[in-house]
Each structure stands twice: as structure tokens, then as C-alpha cells.
Structure 1
Amino acid sequence: MAGPWDGIDEVAAVAETGSFVGAARRLDVSVSHISRAVARCEDRLQVQLFARTTRSVRVTDTGRLLVEQFQRLIAEREEAFAMIEANGAPQGALRVTCSIALGERFVAPVLRSFAQKYPSLTVELDLSNRVVDLISEGYDLAIRTGALTDTRLLRRQICTRHVTICAAPAYLSRRGIPGSIADLDRHDCLVGSTRIWQFAVDGALQSYRPVPRWQCNSGMAIAEAAIAGMGVCHLPTFYLREALASGQLVQLLQLHHPPAEPVWAVYPQRRHLLPKVRRVVDLLATNLGDGL
């Protein structure tokens, strides 16, 4: 009687090597063993995993979806063994998603260091401003800011992110300095991917929807527009730190600066005990703990 794991390794090996012969070599078994295992798996699932000809083996559309799941199952099984056999050393594949700017500036260097430390680990960092479904798309970890709503996920705060509102001295000399949030109605606003600006007023957050004079989903492009004197911007401080220090930009409405936002490491509940996830979150918290 076939067990629940029967055929999973064989199917994955055929898909990865492109042939039954290649799979047999990889797993050190006979070609007939591979053929029987794949046939049993297809029969049990009632689907065709491979389209076979005398010259090639091609994964079907249905097979491709199952192969991706099988590969994750195999990786998780090996990681579970590693927790016991190798003192929990991270190995296998680590898939992380993060927003582009945060990832390029802060997360990528940490993950690069992590990969160099653990040679049995492969790392995929997907930089996207899209909110990825970690579970359905097979990610181990996401780095996110602000409010979190997915109850299927665990989270750990790894640092904070500060936001600054500012403009160039040349712009302020032409248009004046806003003394209140309402004064922004009379200013040119430079708007990035965050369409609602948050301010602190009497201990609470107040939202303001700017009318864009210049709009772009790149924080760096917005910062450059502000330095060029095009208007007022409201951005994470890491985009602005050098320009503020050099005097190219001037902070505004300092009494209404919002509190720092938490930056979270977010991961599916079933993955938080894996060494690769636990240790990379620790490393991110250590390296980013001073805030962004």
C-alpha cells in the first residue's frame, strides 16, 4: 500500500531533470522504479503529471502546480530533519518578499550576509510593492510596515520606520513655510505610493489627502523632485537623511510628525520554527534594530 509520500521525490526529480533517466540517476534507483512511482502517483491523484513522447517528458499544467507543492514539501521535510541532525543549521530554499526601496537598502545586505554564512541555503528575495500572499505563493517571510490584517500569519517587530515632511529652501522662499496641516492646501505636494499623509495632532493621528503636483511610485524620484524645489514631500526618512543633513531639504510641521511606524517580519504560522526563518528574523532584528 502506497504511503502519503510515495512518488513525491520521484515526480519532483523527473520535473527538475527533464527525464526519467535523469531522475533515476539523481535518486540512485532504476528507471523502472521511477516510472512505477510516477504512475502510482498519477493513478492516486487521478491526474496526468507528465506528457510523454519517445523524445521528451514535459510537465503538464496541472503537474506544474503539484510539482511546486512537492518541492516545498521535500524542502520542509529536509529542514525538519536538519533541526535534529545538524543542530538546526539553516538549509534548503528561503523565499522572502519585501518592498523595493526597503529591500534594496536594508534587507538585501542582511540576506546576502545570511546566505554567505550558511552555504547549504539558497535565498530568493522578491522585491515588489505588491502585497504577496505568502501562503498561496509559497513564501517563507515578508518584511512589511504599518497595519497587518492577515490572521493566518505570525509577526515580529524588527525595527521602526520614521517619516519626515520637508521641502527645499528655494521652494520655501518662493511659497512660504506651512504653519499648519491645513496650509498644505496652498502648496505643491509631491506624492509617492502613499496617497494619504498621516500627522500627529493632540496625541492622535490625523489623515490628510494631498492634491498631487507631482506623483510617482518611486520614493527616490519624489525626494529628487523635492530637492529640485518642486514642492513639499512626505516620505520615509531614509530617503531624505543625506539631503536634510546637507541643508538641501528642511523639515516642516515638526510638531505634527507622526510616530514611528513598526516594521514587521511576517511569516506563516507553520514556518516560524524552521531554523532558516527563525535565524534570519533574529539577524534582521539585530541589524535593523536602530530604526530606518
Structure 2
Amino acid sequence: MAAWEGIEEAVMVAQMGSFVRAAQRLNTAPSNVSRAIDRLEQRLKTRLFTRTTRVVKLTDSGRLLITRFARLVAERDEAFATLDSGGEPHGDLRITCSAAMGERFVAPIMRELCRKHPQLSIHLNLTNRVVDLVGEGYDLAIRTGDLTDSRLICTQIAQRRVLTCASPAYLAQHGTPAKVGDLAQHACLVGTSDEWRFRQNGETVLWRAQGRWHCNNGHAIVAAAREDMGICHLPEFYVSEDIKNGRLAVILDQFRQADESIWAVYPSRRHLSARVQVAIEALRQAMPSVI
């Protein structure tokens, strides 16, 4: 039995929800599709589908295996197409990134990439949820900080700098903190995390921020800081314009944590994909070195 027998048929039935429609897409007879899947199920010693006269549904084992089979088929087709296209990136590129960084930096870069390569389709998911790249079938993620998933390969594309800021009016009224502990006497504007990181004597210092304004949106935190409500602790790209225009002032900079790496992260099985390579290179070239 050929190693691929039944795999493409199973993927197509799962996608189409019908043996007849799958056969039409594969340009073969429904009986051929059914026999190929029967042989595949015998080989795997498990059922992939439950069948009635009206409905075809994946079993639990089927759902688990079809995701992997679909990747195999896509990678096979990509390998063949790469030869025909002379290495030009093509097909679907699925990317995930946090909402703020994605909107500000990644989306514009990927739009330009899409314009440059007409055979490439880009699906960009902006979410603050940590997506399982392997399990959910993503090609690429943009992430910060330490990475622990051994299934993934990472390439640094930029760095992120976190600054502590307040408005000049707030500091004039309440004083400027001289050390991290002085934050206890101030109103902290708390974002997605109340754990603020600083660096002192070569070691990381964690400060549990407390205040009356909490919001999971960085722009809303910056707006509160501009309105003299307290001290914020955010990536530089949120506050750079306000610092430049004098609306916010950097404080405690001598205790600023080391810049965090921003990574392009991808499953190891995709490291030769032309579309992933061209996307990483575009991000590396177009992203500011520090954001």
C-alpha cells in the first residue's frame, strides 16, 4: 500500500463534509474515495469518520489525525509548487501576533508583503491569547520574552523597551519617584499586568503596581497618564510620541529593565517554507530595531 493512500481522500472528505463532493473535487468516483479511506482506517486500526446516509462526521481520532494529514498534504503541494514557481512565495500564510504590536507594526509590513507577492495569501490573527502554533496550524507568530516550547524555532526580529512615565503636571503635584519603592506613594495606572519589572544592581526587581485605574488596553492607559491620573509602565511605542512632545516624562530610567527580544516563532517543520522565510525577512528589515 502506498504511504499516501487514503490521506488526501480523508482530508478532502473532512473539508467537504461529503464523500460525493470530495470525489468531485478529486475527479474520481465516490466508491474510490470510500475504498481508499476504508484501507487507511484498516491500516491505522481506527475509525476516522462516522457515516450515515445524510451525515459524515469526524470521530475524535479523526479530528486529531485530519489536522496532521491536512498539513502533510499542504506541505507536499507546496514543495511541488515551489519547483513550478521558481521559489516565489505562494499559498496561505497564517500569522498570529498580539493586538497592539500587530496593528502598529506587523499588519502594515504584511500588507506590503501581500502587495509584493501576488501568489501569497496572508491570514493575520491579532489576539493576546497565546496560540498553539502546531495544534492550530499557524505558520508564524510574533512573540516577546522567554520562549519555552521546544517544538518551535525562533528568530529575533527586534527588541521591545518598556518605559515608566507620567505627565509633568502629575509629577509637579505628587513628586518624582527616585527609586522603585517610591511607587508605593503614587497612583499606578495598571494595564494587562500589575507586575512591573525593573533592574537594580544587576538583578530583576518586581513591583506589584496598585492604583484606581485598571485597563487591558495600552492606549487607554496612556490617555490616563496624559490626563495626569498617574504613572504608566508600557512599551516605548505607546508613549514615544507623548515623550517627544513633552506630554509625558520618563522616570526611573536608571532602573529600566533590559530590552526584551521580539521573536518570529515558527514550527520546525516549516523552516524551509518560502512564504515563512520571506515573511521573517520582511519583518526583520522593516521593524524598528527597538520599539
Normalising by structure 2, report the TM-score.
Answer: 0.91
Structure 2 match to 1:18? 17
Distance 1:58-1:270 versus aligned 2 partners, 3 A rule: closer
RMSD value over aligned CA atoms?
2.1
Structure 2 Cα separation of the partners of residues 137 and 175 of structure 1: 49
Matched pairs, number: 291
Structure 1 match to 2:270? 271
1:188 is displaced (CA, Å) by 0.7
1:5 is displaced (CA, Å) by 1.1
Structure 2 match to 1:286? 285
1:112 is displaced (CA, Å) by 2.4
1:156 is displaced (CA, Å) by 1.0
Q: Secondary structure at the match of 1:240?
A: helix
Structure 1 Cα separation of the partners of residues 119 and 19 of structure 2: 26
Amino acid at match of 2:194: R
Question: Is residue 2:142 matched to residue 1:139?
Answer: no
Structure 1 Cα separation of the partners of residues 152 and 23 of structure 2: 38
1:161-180 residue pairs with structure 2 within 5 A? 161-180=160-179
Distance 1:240-1:94 versus aligned 2 partners, 3 A rule: same
Amino acid at match of 2:91: G
Using the aligned pairs only, state the percent identity.
49
Amino acid at match of 1:44: R
Q: Secondary structure at the match of 2:69?
A: helix
- Is the contact between residue 165 and residue 235 of structure 1 (CA under 8 Å) also seen in structure 2? yes
1:110 is displaced (CA, Å) by 1.8
1:249-268 residue pairs with structure 2 within 5 A? 249-268=248-267
1:239-254 residue pairs with structure 2 within 5 A? 239-254=238-253
1:282 is displaced (CA, Å) by 0.5
1:202 is displaced (CA, Å) by 4.4
- Is the contact between residue 178 and residue 184 of structure 1 (CA under 8 Å) also seen in structure 2? yes
Structure 2 match to 1:41? 40
Structure 2 segments unaligned to the other structure (5+ residues): none
Structure 2 match to 1:216? 215
- Is the contact between residue 75 and residue 92 of structure 1 (CA under 8 Å) also seen in structure 2? no
Distance 1:199-1:109 versus aligned 2 partners, 3 A rule: same
Q: Secondary structure at the match of 2:212?
A: strand
| More divergent stretch after superposition (270-279 vs 90-99) | 90-99
1:251 is displaced (CA, Å) by 1.5
Moved over 6 A (4+): none
1:271 is displaced (CA, Å) by 1.5
Structure 1 match to 2:159? 160
What CA deviation, in whole Å up to 9, does each residue of 1:184-233 have, x standing for no partner? Answer: 11101112223322223345543322224322222222112212221101
- Is the contact between residue 194 and residue 210 of structure 2 (CA under 8 Å) also seen in structure 1? no
Structure 1 match to 2:104? 105
Structure 2 match to 1:29? 28
Q: Secondary structure at the match of 2:163?
A: strand
Distance 1:242-1:283 versus aligned 2 partners, 3 A rule: same
Amino acid at match of 2:111: R
Structure 2 Cα separation of the partners of residues 117 and 214 of structure 1: 44
Amino acid at match of 1:46: K
1:118 is displaced (CA, Å) by 3.1
What CA deviation, in whole Å up to 9, does each residue of 1:141-162 have, x standing for no partner? Answer: 2111112222332211101112
1:108 is displaced (CA, Å) by 1.7
Amino acid at match of 1:214: W
Amino acid at match of 2:271: H
Distance 1:268-1:55 versus aligned 2 partners, 3 A rule: closer
Amino acid at match of 2:85: A
Q: Secondary structure at the match of 1:135?
A: helix
